[in-house]
Chains A and B, each alone.
Chain A
Amino acid sequence: MFRKTVRGIGTVRGALLFLLGLSLVILWLLPTVMLSLRGERGDVESFRTMIPLGMLGMCLLSLMTSAGERAIYFSPGEVEFLFPGPFSRREVLAYKLLGTAANVLIGSLIFSVFVLRYASSWFAGYVGVVLALLFVQYFTMAAMILGETMSQRAYTRARKIILFIFGALLAVIAGQVMSMRADARDAGFLLLLKDSPWVQYLLMPLAPFARVMTAESLFPDLALWAAVCVAMNATLFFVIVGLDAEYRETAIRISQRIYTRIQHAQRSGMAPAVVKAGKRRMPLLPWWGGTGPIIWRQCVNAIRNSRSMLMITILLTVAVAVPAMRNDTSERGIATILTMLIWLTVMMSMMIRFDFRADIERMDWLKVLPIPPLALSAGQLVVPVAICTALQVYLTAIATYFMGRQELIPLMLVFGLPTNLLMFAAENTLFLLMPTKSAAFSPGDFQMFGRQLIFLLVKTLIVGAVWGLSFLAGAAVYFLTGQNTTAGGVAVWCCLTVAAIGCIAAVAWAFGQYDVSRDTPA
């Protein structure tokens, strides 16, 4: 993480990006720090209740999903050098556990900021966060290693049975609580859930971690609770090492799978698809000046990444539906939803990457094709622009379902299309001029934050400037035609469309400038 953070910092551009990224992180954390510096302490009792619940949730999530596999992930270098090296299984495992602890020590520096409001001192909060995160990590690792001591099949079955019992238990408890208090919702529901004796037993071992974070004094409060937590973590540590399970085969399999995911995410910026070719095949598109084969290829890519697209759609639906359900039909309410749609569009342009950004490792393929760069660039932009526009129309339809104003849907379609083309063209031009692999798994990469911020700023500036100029042209036409709104709107649309199509030339130029031999940092 350190090397990734400081990589390229020696150059002026690297240093500037680093500073920019660091500033962004500071700006992100500053409000929380300021709030706690003002001495306004949050509700400590609720915090003490929520932390064990959160930890339990994290542990269960690790067991339920493949996220827990990360606990015994070894990088390819570690697999190549440590596994065949003169080290015992226990030594390698101890190395992994200590490495995890080191990562937790660094990561907790950021997380500790968020508990400042509830902690009596930063030190107590930090120690508590470190111990809590270590517990979750070691618990997950213990579960994985324990699984290895049983046969894998038995473990999978046992895990399913345990999770089923857990789920059934929680459902029964939740039902009881709901029947007791009809108004139980959101966080209030969780607080009530905590009151159930079953849950209290379950949360009992996790309560000391919250106690450490909110300890009022160094001694005996912090020291005592921290000692309890350290003892629990140490027990897990020795259980993991003591089991001496033959975990290496599983670790290699899991590590390979996770590494493939990381590589895919770095290449495409999207979660890897579980690709099955399926029986239905998309027919080839006509030549269309060279754009046809490119559009076809990106269409197939999008269809086979439909799982990722579905996840994005669900997230966006929730993001729009929740505020829209407030049914605030005032001008302010509509402005809020529109602003949200604009920002979601910006986010979509970063998430939907069926264009040059996902083809960074295949640029020599694209460069060698006998297709004019302009046609190739246009072909690369069609699919993401179409998907983004379809999602915009869908989100607008959701918002207008609750709020009325259905006339926004065709407007979003008409003006969304050139705006999206403009935005994706800007995104791809910047990417081709400053290429980088997506680094979805590098939290300490301030240069990446800085780069993303610059991209966002430049993109917003370009789209804003084109919209501003188009609006001016539209206003001129509006007044020249005797305040004809349709004529003004058409003028705005024409200007936007001309500028957007012009931007494809910028992408083609940037594609021509792209040097395949250039280093593209991850």
Chain B
Amino acid sequence: MIHVENFYKSYRDTVAVEDLSFALAPGEILGLAGPNGAGKTSTMRCIAGIIPPTRGSVSVAGHDIVRDAIAAKSRIAYVPDDPKLFDTLTVWEHLEFVAAAYRVPSWQAKGEALLQRFELTPKQTVVAQELSRGMRQKVAICCAYLHEPAAILFDEPHVGLDPRGIRTMKDSILERANAGACVIVSSHLLELVEDMCTHLLILHKGRSLYFGRMSEARNAFAELGGDASLEEIFFHATEGDTGQP
């Protein structure tokens, strides 16, 4: 579903991502972990078609994100870490806009169900500028789900959400994956990644330190022992130790 091959991204002299390759099949959930500045957001933005790759190829649902951008984008949803909604549109109008832009037929019932699930029904006539951080995050998630995307990209999706919101978000991600969507979750919350993801990609200074199934990560870092947590694996991979003071 998502194919990333020899992907490079640089900003002038700074290399953000270097020679990254991975592939994800439908139903798989990839946890993208890495310290600040590792290249996670650059990778997500390139897959979403927001910025072009400097080199290499990225394709989603068989469509190249550069050459066949519109077809690829119609199969993708991207939820940024701090969603900036349209200030003057209401919650419901955001869904209307997304439905119109993605040409979703008969979307109203689906929209209502999404708002109900994310506890936004009472807020549907409220304009975005009056919403709290968590509410905005929920609206962005509802918008992302509305057009039934084949690939969903979440950048720090838990930020601003209350415990109930985090639970709903996690459940919804698992449901989407079970329904055949391919999901990438970038997060510093390693417990969330470990709990939810089928695959793991650890990035550090733009390079891939590990990509594979979550269950195989412990084997890849066998020196830590068979019962190492993801946190220990992460610190070992990125800092060469177990993260203990």
Contacts and interface: CB of A to CB of B under 8 A. Distances in A.
A304 B88 contact: yes
Interface stretch (A196-204, A294-302, A444-452): A294-302
A270 B76 CA distance: 33
A515 interface: yes
Contacts of A293: 97, 100-101
Interface string B85-116: 11111100100110011110000000000000
A296 B97 contact: yes
B84 A367 contact: no
A297 B126 contact: no
Interface in A239-296: 264, 267-268, 273, 275-277, 281, 284-285, 287, 290, 292-294, 296
A277 B42 CA distance: 36
Contacts of B130: 275
Nearest to A267: B87
Interface string A384-405: 0000000000000000000000
B100 A275 contact: no
A368 B50 contact: yes
A361 B84 contact: yes
Contact of A297 (B51, B76, B86): B86
A516 B73 contact: no
A284 B50 contact: no
Interface in A345-363: 361-363
Given A296-B100, A368-B50, A304 B45 contact: no
Interface string A357-382: 00001111101111110000000000
A292 B97 CA distance: 10
B80 A275 contact: no
SS of B interface (majority):
mixed
A297 B129 CA distance: 15
Contacts of A365: 84, 86
A264 B88 CA distance: 11
Given A362-B86, A517-B11, A517-B42, A368 B78 contact: yes
Nearest to A287: B103
A327 interface: no
A305 interface: yes
Contact of B88 (A275, A290, A367, A369): A275
A367 B96 CA distance: 18
A364 B45 contact: yes
**Residue picked from A273, A285, A517, most chain B C-beta under 10 Å:** A517
B127 A367 contact: no
A460 B37 CA distance: 42
Contacts of A301: 86-89
Nearest to A292: B100
A63 B130 CA distance: 27
A281 to B, nearest CB: 8
Nearest to B93: A300
Contact of B129 (A275, A367, A515): A275
B45 A517 contact: yes
A297 B97 contact: yes
User: Most A CB atoms within 10 A — which of B74, B84, B102, B103?
Assistant: B84
B100 A284 contact: yes
Contacts, number: 88
B18 to A, nearest CB: 17
Contacts of B70: 370-372
Contacts of A515: 11, 51
B15 to A, nearest CB: 14
B142 interface: no
B67 to A, nearest CB: 14
A126 B71 CA distance: 64
Contact of B48 (A275, A300, A368, A517): A368
A517 B71 CA distance: 24
A284 B73 contact: no
B125 interface: yes
B157 interface: no
Contact of A277 (B45, B73, B127): B127
Nearest to A273: B88
Given A297-B86, A300-B89, A371-B70, A364 B101 contact: no
Contacts of B53: none
A264 B100 contact: no
Interface string B129-144: 1100000000000000
Interface in A289-327: 290, 292-294, 296-297, 300-301, 304-305
Contacts of A267: 87
A365 to B, nearest CB: 7
Contacts of B88: 273, 275, 300-301, 304-305
B78 A364 contact: yes
A277 B50 contact: no
Interface string B1-15: 000000000010000
A275 B87 contact: yes
B49 interface: yes
Nearest to B42: A517
B50 A369 contact: no
Nearest to A304: B88
A367 B100 contact: no
A455 to B, nearest CB: 24
B16 to A, nearest CB: 8
Contacts of B85: 362
A517 B17 CA distance: 14
A277 B86 contact: no
Interface string B64-82: 0000001101101010100
A370 B84 CA distance: 18
Contact of A370 (B73, B126, B129): B73
A368 B87 contact: no
A370 B89 CA distance: 20
B171 to A, nearest CB: 24
A201 to B, nearest CB: 46
A296 B100 CA distance: 10
Given A296-B97, A370-B73, A516 B84 contact: no
B73 A368 contact: yes
A273 B129 CA distance: 10
Contacts of B84: 361-362, 364-365
18 contacts: A267-B87, A275-B87, A275-B129, A277-B93, A284-B96, A292-B100, A293-B100, A293-B101, A296-B97, A300-B88, A363-B50, A364-B50, A364-B78, A367-B49, A368-B50, A370-B71, A370-B102, A372-B70
Given A277-B127, A367-B48, A517-B42, 15 more contacts: A264-B129, A284-B100, A287-B100, A292-B100, A294-B101, A297-B97, A301-B89, A361-B84, A364-B78, A364-B84, A368-B48, A368-B49, A368-B78, A370-B70, A371-B70
Interface of B: 11, 41-42, 45, 48-51, 70-71, 73-74, 76, 78, 80, 84-90, 93, 96-97, 100-103, 125-127, 129-130
Q: Which 6 A-B pairs have the closest CB atoms?
A: A370-B74, A293-B100, A304-B88, A370-B73, A367-B50, A361-B84
